[in-house]
A = this chain, B = another copy of it.
Amino acid sequence: MTHPTLGRAASTPGVPVPGRPAEPVAVRIAVDLLGGDGAPAVVVDGALRALAADPDLRLLLVGPGEVADEVIRALPRADRDRASVRPLRGAVSMADPPYRGVRSDTTVRGAALAVAEGAADALVSAGATGAIVTAAVLSLSRWPGIRRPALLATIPAIAGPVALLDVGGSVEARPITLAGHALLGAAYASIVHAVPRPRVGLLSIGHEPGKGDRARRTTDPMLADLKLGGDAHYVGLVEGYDVSSGERADVVVTDGFTGNILLKGIEGAYAMAGGPPPGRAAPRAAALLGVHGTVVICHGGATPDDLASGLALAANLHRNHTIPRIATALADLIEVTT
């Protein structure tokens, strides 16, 4: 498993995105100024850090004009044309229902619409996941055959990066949804993590066939029969430990409820133990897969560095043409999940 050197954006701390070296071409990212527990201050700081780290990054600041002005005023004069503004005041709080992401006066929907209109190449938000997914699905539309977009986080493991999905795109544990996640994860591991023969596992509570709840017992033989694309192959049931170690699988498929809890538990354990092993970044942003556009979601409790890390991930995904490449890879497989 190799981790080729990335383009300039990789110097920003964050989720490593191995794969083809990114071209240092301009990328325009719509950033949700009102998303996240620390918004707007954390988003302002994160945006400034990302702009400083990546000279070819441009931001579309979606939020109140005075907050956007704060970003622009803090930039060196020569850089001020790298940030533009889409003024909007509607916020979605963590306590709001996901359907609030429908409203076009919200910053998250405005940012998603900017991507749909071609005014931005990608969307980054630390807001409520449900609202971001709602806004993304409505604005960018789902890929054919994908019931539920999945949120994919890269877990640093001794044996290499592990793609864990879903980590909160939906809480649905239906076998057909889990099969969709397997296709998305296999393509991501191949394209983004540059794993030549991705091993795909289904998260459960034992390795032996038959372990787990009804959804897992139904999904396990389904995945064994599924053509995963390229040289990806199914390795059977895996456990929580395997997500941390990376020894059994490069892609771990689960529902968004379990995946979100596991991701946050692993993050918490690293924080307790003083951080992940040297050279391995803890996951700080996740990619949404299954819609026509690049969408990166940061934690609600993101720090400015986390935001900058999410912006760097979005820039890399765009520069590597990741989302269209995954869509293409799936196009001849996807009838399986319709």
Contacts and interface: CB of A to CB of B under 8 A. Distances in A.
B245 A272 contact: yes
19 contacts: A158-B272, A168-B205, A173-B213, A212-B257, A240-B262, A240-B264, A240-B268, A241-B268, A241-B271, A243-B268, A245-B271, A258-B258, A258-B261, A261-B262, A265-B269, A266-B268, A269-B269, A269-B273, A274-B277
A107 interface: no
Centre residue among A157, A213, A216 by max chain B CB count within 10 A: A213
Interface in A213-271: 213, 216, 239-245, 254, 256-258, 260-271
A258 B265 CA distance: 11
| Total copies of the chain | 2
Contact of A257 (B205, B242, B256, B273): B205
A303 B116 CA distance: 55
A240 B212 contact: no
A210 interface: yes
A261 B80 CA distance: 47
B244 A213 contact: no
A173 B210 CA distance: 18
A78 interface: no
A66 interface: no
A240 B205 CA distance: 17
A65 interface: no
A204 B94 CA distance: 14
Given A213-B171, A241-B267, A272 B276 contact: yes
Interface string A80-102: 00000000000000110100000
A242 B213 contact: no
Contact of A269 (B168, B207, B244, B300): B244
B257 A258 contact: yes
A196 interface: no
Contacts of A254: 261
A157 B268 CA distance: 9
A257 B95 CA distance: 26
A203 interface: yes
Nearest to A257: B213
A274 B260 CA distance: 24
A213 B241 CA distance: 24
Nearest to A256: B205
